Each structure stands twice: as C-alpha cells, then as structure tokens.
Amino acid sequence: MKKSLFLSALVMTMLFETGRFACSDDDFVVKIFSTYQGYNAYYPWEKNKFSERTAFGTLLEGGYILTTADTVSDFACIEMKKPANEKKYPASVAYVDYGCNIALLKSEESEFYEGLSPVLLSESLLKDEEIQVVQIKSNNDIHYIAGTVEKVSIEESYLGWDEYLSYLLSVKLENRSHWAEPVMKENRLAGIVTTYDSNRFLATVIPVERIRHFMSDISDGSYDGFPDPGFYWEPLTNPFLKKYLDMADDLTGVFVTRVVPESSADKILQRGDVLLKAGGVVIDDKGYFADKAHGKLSLTYLFTSRSPGEKIEIEILRDGKRIVQEAVLKRFTPKDYFIPLYSYDEQSNYIIEGGFVIQEVTTEYLKTWGQDWQDEANKKLLYYYNYFSRTSPDDRENLIVLSFVIPDDINIGYQNFRTMIVENINGRKVRSIADVARAFDEGESRFIQIFFDGTKQAILDRNQLKSANERIARRYKIHKMRNL
C-alpha cells in the first residue's frame, strides 16, 4: 500500500512541475468533510452514531492535502471540495499520526487537482513575526486574517503526555465553521491552526518544523514518526541536592526520576542520574536549553526534533563522575503504552464470558466517565493512568478490567460487580486480554475462578458457559462476543 501511495505522489509531483495544474497563487486551500463513526468505549461491541467534522486542507507538493489528524479519526468517509465549485471528491488517508496531530490526504481523481497549486513550506517563525491565517468564507472567497506570533514553546499534545514544538498566535479569527486553517508567511505555509480561544483571540498552531519533519519522513514512502525521550525528570534547583550529587558549581542539568523500559533511554540513563547535555547541548537546572531560533525550549525538543533510529550523545553525572553515552532514539506507538492514549480507527479488545465484560483499559475508556473524567473516573484506574500510562509497573502488557456484568442466570450474585481489575483466572496471572481468552478456552476444570484486586472473586460454571453466552448474545443483541 505504501508503495502505491508513494508512486501516486510522484505522479502528482510530475503533473505539478509540468504546469498541468497551474493556477493562481492562493488556490492551495480546500474544504474537508469527514464522516466518522467510532466504537463505544464502554459497550465495545457497539458503534457510536455517525457524525461529521469539517476542516480546511492545504495542498502540498506531491499531491498531499495536509490537515490535522483529529479531522480523520474514526473516519468512515472523507470528501474534499475546492473553493471554485460545490463538487465533492472522495479522499483517502495516505499518512496519519494522531500523536503529533498530522494527517495527509490524497485524491485518486486527477480532476480534483485542476485549478489548485501546491504551497511551499516557510522558514521557522519567530516570536513577534507577523503572519496571515487563511479561511474560506461561506461564499467561497479566500480570506486572509493578519496575526502575530505570541509564543514559541514545547507543549503537550492534545492527546496528552507527548510534547511537541508549538506556536501560539494572536489573531482575531472569524466564524470557525472549519478548523486546520493554514498559517502563511510571505506566501509560504508556516503552520496549521488546531485550537482557538475566542475570548483571548489566541490560536494554537502545528508549526512548520513539525510539518517539515513529517514530510521529510515520508519521502521514502514509509513513516517512522517522532522519537520519545524515554525518561522522566525533575528540575534540579535545590542547592543541597546538587551538593549531595557532587555537582560542581559550574554544572547544570536535570534529575532523572524514571526510565521507561525498552525506550531510547533504557540502559543509558538510570534513576538518580543528572542529565547535563543532549546532542552536545547544555541543559539548565530547569530543563531548558538555548535554541538558536526560539530561545529557551524544553529539553524534550532535543530528542523529538530528531528521527527514530538516530543516535544522540548524552552526557550525564552519575556517582560524581561525568559519563558520555550514545542512545538510539525510539518511537513510542499506542501499542507500547500500558494504558493506550488512543485507539482510533479500531475496535477495543474485549471478551464477554458469562455476561462478564472484560476489556483493556484505554484513555477512551476512562473518558466514558464524562467531561471531568480525570476527577470522576475510578480512582484505581486513574492511579495507573497518571503514573503508569507509558509503561507497566510489573510484567503486565495492559491493564485488564471487569467493566460490568450483563445480567443473566449464570452470574446471579455478581451483577453489581463493576470496574474491578482482573488479577488472575484459575491461578494464571492476567497480563493481557489474550490471557483471559486462554483461561476460558484451555482450562479443563469445571469451575472458572476469577480473582480481582482486593478480596473479591467470582465463580463461573464452564459447563454452562456456551449456552449462557448464546443466550446473552441473543437477548442483548450482541453480534460479537470477543475482539482480540
């Protein structure tokens, strides 16, 4: 699939270069209509109702339409429309990375590209620079709105945890019926808008640095993503702690508090190390370094501005000695997380046996507690989310929970059981949802014992399971009792 997309991009590039799609300078922005239908995180065998998102797309070289990843999450159908007419063209997702919130679309219909022209990428924006945000008005006129760069900094991803370079713009946008507006600097693309605060007139922007990284990455027809530093740290501003660590007065750095197993930092850093430099760049006691273009930035950018597979030199202080080591940068994907940040475009893993709905804990599952889920969700699950989202505290692959019990004769007495972490089944420790399936499928004992955290347990009669499952599926109209 990637090869065909790559060849398609080459064909589009040739058409642009020969002038086949030549047009006016501002015909690079289109409208995107994404119909989406995600799975219900609480009732994982069900799908939610269809809804629609609308966004802007920006035509780049190679025939790619740039937009935000949240435009296409859980998509069922994507269409694009040019400003010049009302005809909609089907589109497909060529590349998407929800973590960095970038998606590239394409159209297989050459007619779509007629009258459009790709825009080039600008240089990095600097604080106080003037820019223009592009919108298509309801009458299809292209409208430019002046603004200023307020701030360039490292900010948390809209999904949480991951951090990326971002721009903050001061700009007064008009009615936002679409998002992902292009941000222009001297007729070149400098970023795309993600969120907008209409009270303070502030727009958060995916910067050109991130877009350029993404486009460079896919130039070989595959996508490798952005690497993760693989460790947690705290500022090192306490003078007594610095003395305890035998730090010379002229040394600065941050205190390493935790290293993620199998990550970029694994076997390179240890808890208690002081990170002094990364890539030859000095890190101060608050975790900042001096970037040539943007001034002080978080040390995270020294890692995420590179690519997976790259090597980076790391200088640390350990037991009073300075050590230089080389780390190979790695990417963290949703499957690497103990509690995945997202599960877009796919169904959650679950199993229903005897009415017991057992599933993997994901961030989407925690969000079923509502808008204030970070306060209202089950406290034990929130503990794991806040402290062990990226990596398991033990040898478990995922956190497995009994979500609730579907009432049936087979589970009388257990029907109030809900939100309980599954520890083991018939003496087998549960490390993944696959362990749950094996415990039910491969055991020979008549009774199945399920042990939860704390003191509670449940017993199911294996001889009654088949008929009970058929009855539950029929009665509650559950078409799929497992997804593994």
Domains and CATH numbers, the chain: 2-113 (2.40.10.10), 130-220 (2.40.10.10), 231-328 (2.30.42.10), 335-483 (3.20.190.20)
The label of the residue with tokens 């991951």 reads 162
What is the Cα–Cα distance from 132 to 459, expressed in whole angstroms?
Answer: 65
**Half-sphere exposure in the Cβ direction for 122 (13 Å, CA):** 20
- pTM for the full predicted model: 0.89
Residue 158: what pLDDT?
80
Q: Where are the alpha helices (DSSP H) in 218-296?
A: 239-244
Is there a contact between 172 and 201 (Cβ–Cβ < 8 Å)?
yes
CA-based nearest residue to 83, from 112, 109, 60 = 112
Nearest to 461 by CA among 392, 401, 414, 395: 414
Which residue has 């089950």 as its token pair?
A: 378
Question: In order along the chain (484 residues), what is the average pLDDT of each group of 10 residues?
Answer: 43 41 64 95 95 96 96 96 91 95 95 94 96 89 93 88 93 88 96 95 97 97 95 95 93 95 94 97 97 95 96 96 97 87 90 98 96 96 93 93 98 97 96 96 92 95 97 97 96
Name the one residue in this structure whose structure tokens are 């520890």: 423
Q: Can you give the pLDDT at residue 133?
A: 96
Look at residue 353 in the predicted model and tell me its pLDDT: 98
The gap from C-alpha 482 to its chain's centroid, in whole angstroms, comes to 25
- Let me know: does 448 contact 393? Beta carbons within 8 Å: no
Tokens of 50: 């269809």
Q: What is the DSSP letter of 64?
A: P
From CA 122, how far away is CA 120, in angstroms rounded?
7
Alpha helices in 165-238 (DSSP H): 208-217
Measured distance CA(146)–CA(171) in Å, rounded: 7
Burial pattern 229-238, b for ≥16 Cβ within 10 A else e, equals: bbbebeebee
Closest CA to 256 of 248, 471, 266: 266
Per-residue model confidence (pLDDT) at position 432: 97
Q: Quick one: pLDDT at residue 7?
A: 43
419: left (phi over 0), alpha (psi -120 to 50) or beta: left
Q: What is the CA radius of gyration of the chain?
A: 26
* Amino acid letter, residue 431: R
Separation CA 77–CA 129 (nearest Å):
38
275, 253 contact by CB (below 8 A) = yes
Question: Which is nearest to 472 in space by CA: 45, 4, 147, 39?
Answer: 45
How crowded is residue 449: how many other Cβ atoms within 10 Å of its Cβ? 15
Locate 456 and state its tokens: 């509670």
End-to-end, the C-alpha distance of the chain in Å comes to 24
Please give the structure tokens belonging to residue 97: 């990375």
